[in-house]
Structure 1
């Protein structure tokens, strides 16, 4: 098969949750995704007490892109980190149509994490 005809395998949906998250579990998962981003900043050598970040999601609620900034400089996150976040965010797939995520924006100021969730329209 030619390389241009290769397709990414479909995500395994066997383990996909069927019930939407309750509000507390939803907020806990959003915070856990934010904490994972902070740990990645620390791993990359940035200041984990001052972070700006955005995590974008596809229609299927997979992480498509991650942008992290610390001390005013962007940090290079790889595809492996995006895949890890996608695995962590699997429970988001069961959210109803109006509750689908577009992106999570996170800010860490003086060591305190705050997140903002943006939904798809």
Structure 2
């Protein structure tokens, strides 16, 4: 398993988007060298749809990226955040029961 700098950047960008109305947002933006969550969202979208696009049909490369967000069932997500996760980050969104079934969720995630 490889964790690339872009993977870490995308995870932190997803978290910063969730912190949009929090004092922590400034800290995330500072670490990620960005002016806004919107900038990070558009960067992720452009990376996923342009730079990391599947070019194998034209004889180019194909890179598969696993991008998902697992959330405990007890935590409700704003619809706007779900749209950002799905549309900009192309991430799968899965709700799971971390509290009463941590081992089952661990196995499913892995």
With normalisation by structure 1, the TM-score equals: 0.26
- Higher relative CO (Cα under 8 Å, sequence separation at least 6) belongs to 1
Structure holding more helix per residue: 2
Structure holding more strand per residue: 1
With normalisation by structure 2, the TM-score equals: 0.28
